[in-house]
Amino acid sequence: MIKIPIKVLLVDDEKDFVEMLSLRLKGAGQKVTLAYNGKECLEILAQKDMDVVILDIKTADMDGIEVLREIKRKFPLVEVIMLTGHETTESALEGMKLGAFDYLLKPADFDVLIRKLEAARKRKEEHEERIRKAEAKFLLRKSGGIF
Ligand SMILES: [Mg+2]
């Protein structure tokens, strides 16, 4: 079976951390783009098609929750996994209520991260498939088909 890479946008202001995680994700066959702050994250999403954003709650320029709100407002189909430390777990929960797919406590276990990424991508694909079906039905109805 051919494995299609997950298009991951990794957002964190801790440069060493993102670069190391990026190498591991690439090693695991995923397609990774890096952003070091919220502004960069939103700029990249406006230009590139992404499946999942791994978003640190603490980024240099914006509160992670604000970045999440902007992602969900402008790119609602992109799934978001929040990265959090113990001191920001409540923010991660708030993030999930605002539409984040899940959260991970730092330091995140790599296998757990991969599983969550795969689950997030699957949800995005299923969502997109339902939209395609709804569009097809709509077109059929418009063209005078039955339903
Ligand atoms: Mg950070």
Integer CA distances (angstroms), 65 to 21, 25, 85, 125, 146, in order: 22, 24, 14, 24, 45
Residues 9-48 pLDDT 10s: 999 999 999 999 999 999 999 999 999 999 999 999 999 9
Residues 56-94 pLDDT 10s: 998 766 789 999 999 999 999 999 999 998 888 888 899
Which of 53-74 are b and which e, b meaning 16 or more Cβ less than 10 Å from the residue's Cβ? bbbbbbbeebebbebbebbbee
Residues 91-141 pLDDT 10s: 889 999 999 999 999 888 999 999 999 999 999 999 999 999 999 998 888
Residue 147 pLDDT exceeds 60:
no
Domains of the chain: 7-142 (3.40.50.2300)
Distance from the alpha carbon of residue 63 to the mean position of ligand 1, in angstroms: 10
Distance from the alpha carbon of residue 56 to the mean position of ligand 1, in angstroms: 5
What's the confidence (pLDDT) of residue 33?
98
Measured distance CA(61)–CA(17) in Å, rounded: 17
Distance from the alpha carbon of residue 39 to the mean position of ligand 1, in angstroms: 14
Tokens for 37, please give them.
């702050």
Cβ 79 vs Cβ 121: under 8 Å: yes
What's the confidence (pLDDT) of residue 1?
66
How many other C-beta atoms can be found within 10 angstroms of the C-beta atom of residue 126?
10
